[in-house]
Amino acid sequence: MKTLLVMMACLLCASPAFAGYVVIVNAGNGAEVSMSDVKKIYLGKKGAFSNGENAIPITLSEGDAVRGQFNDGVLNKNEGQYVAYWSKMVFTGNGVPPREVATMQEVKDLVAKNPSTIGFIDESLVDGSVKVVGSF
């Protein structure tokens, strides 16, 4: 019985580590968006979706653990590399970094309101106002 309780406690504590995160666009956005497109949009190498509409990336605040997972898994950059990359892009006049917000709920709300935006959130926040285009 004691072992069972310990195992259940471990599973409950571990479940956030297995949370799934998804990349989202507005539900009305009809563009085809691949994870390669996501990477290019977030690195300022692509400014529009496949349908020609502007693509406005939204990210979480510096230091956020999910932002770190996105940067590592999707952009192949750790937080330091990501910040340095955007510092250089801004300094040279070659880009504007993604807009930062504090919470995944804010990301979802902004994407739900604007068809030009793209963001990433916990899959549990997905509803009919947004469309999933990838996961990490």
Report the pLDDT value the prediction gives residue 81, as an integer from 0 to 100.
Answer: 98
Give the mean pLDDT of 37-54: 97
Q: pLDDT tens digit string along 82-126?
A: 999 999 999 999 999 999 999 999 999 999 999 999 999 999 999
CATH class, domain 19-135, is alpha beta
3-state secondary structure the chain: CHHHHHHHHHHHHHHHHHCCEEEEEECCCCCCCCHHHHHHHHCCCCCECCCCCECEEEEECCCCHHHHHHHHHCCCCCHHHHHHHHHHHHHCCCCCCCEEECCHHHHHHHHHHCCCEEEEEEHHHCCCCEEEEEEC
Global pTM reads: 0.85
Residue 14 has pLDDT above 50, yes or no: no
pLDDT, the chain, mean: 90
Task: Return the domain boundaries, the chain.
Answer: 19-135
